[in-house]
Chain A
Amino acid sequence: MALLGYLSKRFLLSILAVLVVCFAVFLMGRATGDPTALLLGSDATVTQQERLRSELGLDRPVYEQYGRFVINMVQGDLGTSIRSGRPVTTMINERMPYSIGLAAVAMAIVGFVGIPLGVIAGSHRGSKWDSSARGLALLGQAVPSFVVGIISIQVFAVALGWAPVAGATSLKHYVLPGITLSLFVLAGVVRLIRSSMLEILDAEYIKLARLKGLSERKVIWKHALRNALLPVVSFSGVYFAILVTLAMVVEVVFSWPGVGRLAFDAIHFRDFPVLQGVVIFGVVLVMLINLVVDFLYALIDPRVRAASDTA
């Protein structure tokens, strides 16, 4: 019962967060200027511009526009693209599989490369592995993704011919953008796992495991890693949501037809409904993932249940 209350409270707070973010994006989008100026040619008459503004509802007071938007949103209608006239929901649904697919590939790389690298770095402190991992982590977080993307295209696609340049028509197209997208999160995971391992390997139960004669491999990969993974697991959902929604730069560089590219075009053309729709999609995704993670945590960790009981 207390758990239900806890989750209900989290859910309501999430709804509030969605509304606040939407309102912020709504206002910021409109602060950037009138989209009709970009939609119509430079020889458009004033009458035309006023007519288009009326048709798009842009002549209404801002609070009325927002109210109408919220009512429609609750009913699942994210509006119509100013630029293309297509339903925003349709546009996002078309792009979402590409973004989710790319994020999944990036997360797989994070999991299969980042975690082992972090473990090796943490368990071989001061070694060349540790230095390499820390160097990679530094580069991953310092070098902008568009630089990584452009360089990887030039090296691996143009010069070496190992991968396609751009597009999303086959599995091999996922490689370069997937690696590029994964780097920032991979860098974070390497550092997180490494520091967790350093802490855990000094723990008493690890010393006991060694004293009991367990192999170092078992000590590291079975006992220490399990605990080192906890913070990564709790963030993995959020990481995934971030990769889905913040892949704009990677999607533009690799001409990937995902939600990030949709947001990029929407910003460029002042297509408010599309921009709002993409933001809502991202916020809701993060919200849902957080809720699921919270629920799982409450199920798994008795301390969380105890805390909610007390509350």
Chain B
Amino acid sequence: MSVIVLAALAGACAVEGERSADSQPNGEIDEVRIALGTLGNESLDPMLSPGENAPYLWLMFDPLVGVSRDGTEPDPSAGVLSDWEISDDALTITLRVGGEATFHDGAPVTAEDVAFSLERLFDDEALAANVGLVQDVIGDPNNIKVIDEETVELHLVKPGVSLLNILPYGSADMLVVPKHYIEEVGVEEFRRNPIGSGPYKFVEQQVGTSITLERVDEHQALGTPRARKVTISLVPEETTRIALLQTGDVDVIDPGIESAVNLEAEGYNLHQKGLPDWGGIKFPMTPLDVPPLNDVRVREALALAINKEAINEFLFFELGELSGNYISEGAAGYEPLPPIPYDPERAKALLEEAGYPDGFEIALESFPKSGWSTTDIADAIAADWAAIGVTAQISNRDYGAYRADWVGGNLEPVTATLHPISGRYNFQGLLGALVSGGSLPAIGDPEYTELMEAVQSSESVEEFNERLAAVDAFIRNGFHMIPMVQMGTTLVTNDVVQDWAFGRSAHELNIRYFLYEVE
């Protein structure tokens, strides 16, 4: 009987496995199915959304400022704002609404909606990624003024060039929500059945499983999307996502680096994000006034001892690029700096000069980053340091536990951390750590403080970028951190998705531009 039952079960499992999408590039597509390892907290409200929610939110809502098709430049025609400017003293930002955008219920997007969307970021519930920066620079929701149907003025409490920078590259925080709809149905209903002005309308959400969206007939900036439906599924296990791609059940996945390379070898398409993530060493117990890390020669020795090329070759499969910068290529303030070379002999000489001929012990912390084999990278670094006499005690744990100790000052005094950072967090992390009283320990060097204060008081975008580049150079030349590799997030697709520029925002996948890729 049990054999019969098994046979019946097997017989019930006719698997379709056929792609529902037309594989012709640039043609109409019935459905694009995307499987990701995380969908953040799955909130449908931009205000409550961390960066990981961006893939679906940026389809449902429009940003204040859109980006070009390859995601590298702001594009006034692709967002809600047609124009924006900052006053000479950088204390007033004027935003002008384009007037073309409409919400999914037909109502036009106006200055009231823009102001309302920004005011919400002052709510106690707000969790969006740039909330801290917005609150710090604008100061009070009353400083957001609607001048007329198309114009909003932001009266800032601090120079706001940094705010200009995140307008096109923010995560969920820079998305525009419908004031009239939220006031009419209430915020809870909005969070269950949201409407936006984006190229896709919300259809259905199965919490913990998937979100389904369908296209609008015509989007004011982007025209008619070529995929009728988009389903974004939450599949936490990487091997399962890969299996779904291999059976044709999904079209897009985000695997780890090694898996991505293997899938490319099998004939799938590998894509990398334009704004790379940063991989390097941080010295978290700042200020760096505890021996031996207080000696720049020691920090330089640790930097020179790491064979970054080998790490990029064997652990990043040459998908990364060696870099001397903390700020990611393509981000504000980026001016290329030469990578720190590999020179273990010079490293040993520096240690001897600094009074550590026999080396010393150091704690090496690492925590998981999706797609990266951080334990292997930590092992490689420890082995390189061992070659110059520095003994690293490796501790691999999850980020939450590590961060609690870091913020609480409970790490070992002599600690290095393998600290991958999403490309978005570069200057914002530096700012948050110091200027806005952020929760991360600041670097603590008076010269660094002065440089960051100069960044914050910048009165023009050019000045802002120049001063940020100076901070980057200070970090690299003083070895306050050790930049190693920059690598864009990898996505793998089947032939439904062939050409795809992921853009620059750390979490947003620029799906809207894949969906409009027509010649």
B380 at interface by CB-CB < 8 Å: no
CB of B174 to closest CB in A, whole Å: 14
With contact pairs A157-B247, A158-B246, A162-B10 given, residues A40 and B132 touching in the complex (Cβ less than 8 Å): yes
CB of A226 to closest CB in B, whole Å: 18
> B244 contacts A166, CB within 8 Å?
yes
With contact pairs A41-B50, A172-B12 given, residues A255 and B133 touching in the complex (Cβ less than 8 Å): no
Q: When chains A and B are docked, how far (Å) is the Cα of A2 from the Cα of B198?
A: 68
Within 8 Å CB of B393, what residues of A?
A: none
Q: When chains A and B are docked, how far (Å) is the Cα of A239 from the Cα of B400?
A: 33
Within 8 Å CB of A215, what residues of B?
A: none
> A261 contacts B208, CB within 8 Å?
yes
CB of B39 to closest CB in A, whole Å: 10
CB of B440 to closest CB in A, whole Å: 6
A113 at interface by CB-CB < 8 Å: yes
Overall SS of chain A's interface: helix
> A150 contacts B399, CB within 8 Å?
no
> A34 contacts B404, CB within 8 Å?
yes
Within 8 Å CB of B125, what residues of A?
A: 55, 85
Residue of chain A at shortest CB distance from B235: A255
B209 at interface by CB-CB < 8 Å: yes
> A165 contacts B243, CB within 8 Å?
yes
Within 8 Å CB of B428, what residues of A?
A: 41-43
Bitwise interface map of A from 82 to 118 toward B, beta carbon under 8 Å scored 1, else 0: 0111000001001100000000000000001100110
Within 8 Å CB of A158, what residues of B?
A: 243, 246-247
B236 at interface by CB-CB < 8 Å: yes
A39 at interface by CB-CB < 8 Å: yes
> B438 contacts A44, CB within 8 Å?
yes
With contact pairs A33-B401, A33-B404 given, residues A153 and B234 touching in the complex (Cβ less than 8 Å): no
Bitwise interface map of A from 39 to 54 toward B, beta carbon under 8 Å scored 1, else 0: 1111111111101100
> B401 contacts A257, CB within 8 Å?
no
Q: When chains A and B are docked, how far (Å) is the Cα of A135 from the Cα of B516?
A: 56
Tell me which of B17, B129, B208, B407 contacts A41 (CB under 8 A): B129
> B400 contacts A43, CB within 8 Å?
no
> A153 contacts B243, CB within 8 Å?
yes
B395 at interface by CB-CB < 8 Å: no
Within 8 Å CB of A42, what residues of B?
A: 425, 428-429, 432, 438-440
Q: When chains A and B are docked, how far (Å) is the Cα of A37 from the Cα of B130?
A: 15
B403 at interface by CB-CB < 8 Å: yes
Within 8 Å CB of B136, what residues of A?
A: 45
CB of B256 to closest CB in A, whole Å: 15
Considering only residues 222-276 of chain B, those with a C-beta below 8 Å from chain A are 233-237, 239-240, 243-244, 246-247, 249
> B208 contacts A49, CB within 8 Å?
no
Within 8 Å CB of A166, what residues of B?
A: 235, 240, 243-244, 249
> B10 contacts A46, CB within 8 Å?
no
Q: When chains A and B are docked, how far (Å) is the Cα of A10 from the Cα of B404?
A: 41
With contact pairs A40-B132, A41-B50, A46-B438 given, residues A168 and B209 touching in the complex (Cβ less than 8 Å): yes
With contact pairs A32-B401, A84-B41, A166-B244 given, residues A43 and B236 touching in the complex (Cβ less than 8 Å): no
CB of A190 to closest CB in B, whole Å: 12
Number of interface residues of B (CB under 8 A): 61
Flag the segment in B1-9, B71-79, B147-155 that touches A.
Answer: B1-9
Q: When chains A and B are docked, how far (Å) is the Cα of A51 from the Cα of B122?
A: 12
- Size class of A's contact patch? 35 or more
> A255 contacts B237, CB within 8 Å?
yes
A161 at interface by CB-CB < 8 Å: yes
CB of B84 to closest CB in A, whole Å: 22
Within 8 Å CB of B300, what residues of A?
A: none
> A85 contacts B48, CB within 8 Å?
yes
Q: When chains A and B are docked, how far (Å) is the Cα of A300 from the Cα of B448?
A: 79
Q: When chains A and B are docked, how far (Å) is the Cα of A253 from the Cα of B236?
A: 7
Considering only residues 252-309 of chain B, those with a C-beta below 8 Å from chain A are none
> B236 contacts A162, CB within 8 Å?
no
Tell me which of B2, B17, B240 contacts A255 (CB under 8 A): B240
Considering only residues 79-136 of chain B, those with a C-beta below 8 Å from chain A are 124-125, 127, 129-133, 135-136
> A164 contacts B235, CB within 8 Å?
no
Residue of chain B at shortest CB distance from A90: B207
B185 at interface by CB-CB < 8 Å: no
Q: When chains A and B are docked, how far (Å) is the Cα of A269 from the Cα of B494?
A: 32
Q: When chains A and B are docked, how far (Å) is the Cα of A254 from the Cα of B50?
A: 25
Bitwise interface map of A from 11 to 38 toward B, beta carbon under 8 Å scored 1, else 0: 0000000000000000000001111011
CB of A272 to closest CB in B, whole Å: 12
Q: Which 9 A-B pairs give the minimum distances between C-beta atoms?
A: A43-B432, A33-B404, A257-B208, A163-B13, A255-B235, A165-B243, A257-B209, A83-B41, A41-B129
**What are 28 residue pairs bridging A and B, where the CB atoms are less than 8 Å apart in the complex?**
A33-B400, A33-B404, A34-B407, A37-B407, A37-B439, A41-B428, A42-B438, A43-B436, A43-B438, A45-B135, A45-B136, A46-B439, A47-B437, A48-B131, A48-B132, A48-B135, A83-B41, A116-B2, A157-B247, A158-B243, A162-B10, A164-B13, A164-B249, A165-B247, A172-B13, A175-B9, A175-B12, A257-B208
Q: Which A residues fall within an 8 A CB radius of B?
A: 32-35, 37-49, 51-52, 55, 83-85, 91, 94-95, 112-113, 116-117, 150, 153-154, 157-158, 161-168, 171-172, 175, 252-255, 257, 261-262, 264, 268-270
